[in-house]
Amino acid sequence: MIDRDAGAPRFRRSVLANGLTVLSEQVPGVRSVSFGAWIRSASVHERAEEMGVSHLLEHMVFKGTERRTAAQIALSLEAVGGSLDAYTSREHTVYQARVLDAHLDLAADVIGDMVFHPALRDEDLALERKVILEEIAMVDDTPDDLVFELHNEALWAPHPLGYSILGTRETVSRLGTAELRALHGRAYHPEHIIVAAAGNVDHDRLLEILARTGWADVPRGGTPRPAAPPLPDLVPASRHVSREGAQTHVVVGSRAFRHGDPRRHALVLLSMLMGGGMSSRLFQRVREELGRKVFPGVLSEGDAVV
């Protein structure tokens, strides 16, 4: 096991023998802990024909495990005043919990059970597929959500960064438990996971809890996650969708700097100057003088900024 400080003393980092990376931050003066697992499984790793499979798997993980029903998962942390949630982004899937420090063992046990031992039953998939199809319909019916989806697709196409995280009606309707099990077998392994905890948490105690709740015993075995294909050259493009309604929603954006590029800090300052508050130029011109609504800002997606 490798162990070293990652900055200030309250930050710790360890890599277990099975490849699991463990990060912690000790926050003085609190009694709660946030605990989560970041998994390298997301839309950027998908093929076009399986678009949405990472998000669908995230939903299905909540439908039960080998030893917990969906209801038991839902009640497990809420019964002790905690919370449990998850989300899929373009670059990772996250399962996270917030609990009092006394219940960190429980949070680690529940999330570990969900991540490594999901049931993935056909009967659950039929229902959850309907839920996601409704989510897709909600985006289509919400112009201020749809306009960002269209912009993202135009900005990155044909790169997977331009894929919809939810998938499409066609791809989600085709996905079955075989595809979910295949993705789980490739990605949900320790070498592709970062566990992080912040709050009233001692790093050595966290490692003991992970050992006690089975995280340290899960063997390696995942398929190396493919690197995202190189970004295509940016070709200026526009998308226009006509809908009935009283408002027009417009997004204008471009690619900018990678996440680690120090110029990103200047870009954030520029964003604040242009639209970061009521005194910003766009707010004063568009809202105060023209009476329109504006939402300027910098949206970060890992190695790129829009």
Residue 84: give its domain's CATH number: 3.30.830.10
83-88 and 32-39 as β-strands: parallel, antiparallel, unpaired?
unpaired
Residue 284 lies inside a defined structural domain of this protein: yes
Least confident window among 18-22, 121-125, 154-158, 290-294:
290-294
User: Residue 301's pLDDT is what?
Assistant: 53
* Cα→Cα distances 228→40, 143, 262, Å: 12, 29, 22
Q: Are residues 172 and 279 in the same domain?
A: no
Number of domains the chain contains: 2
Domain region containing 54: 2-129+165-217
Residue 177 lies inside a defined structural domain of this protein: yes
Catalytic residue selected from 25, 49, 50, 58: 58
| Relative orientation angle of helices 53-61 and 177-187, to the nearest 10 degrees | 90
Q: Are residues 65 and 181 in the same domain?
A: yes
Least confident window among 126-140, 152-166, 253-267, 283-297:
283-297
Residue 244 lies inside a defined structural domain of this protein: no
End-of-domain residue from the set 186, 217, 248: 217
Indicate yes or no: pTM above 0.85: yes
**Residues 42-54: tens digit of each pLDDT:** 999 999 999 999 9
End-of-domain residue from the set 184, 217, 250: 217
Q: Are residues 189 and 294 in the same domain?
A: no
Q: Is 286 exposed, middle or buried (0-12, 13-18, 19+ CB in 10 A)?
A: middle
Residue 205 lies inside a defined structural domain of this protein: yes
288 catalytic, yes or no?
A: no
Q: Are residues 173 and 298 in the same domain?
A: no
Q: Are residues 125 and 269 in the same domain?
A: no
**Residues 253-263: tens digit of each pLDDT:** 888 887 788 99
**Residues 80-137: tens digit of each pLDDT:** 999 999 999 999 999 999 999 999 999 999 999 999 999 999 999 999 999 999 999 9
Q: Are residues 176 and 293 in the same domain?
A: no
Residue 118 lies inside a defined structural domain of this protein: yes
Q: Are residues 175 and 299 in the same domain?
A: no
Look-up: residue for tokens 């070293």? Answer: 4
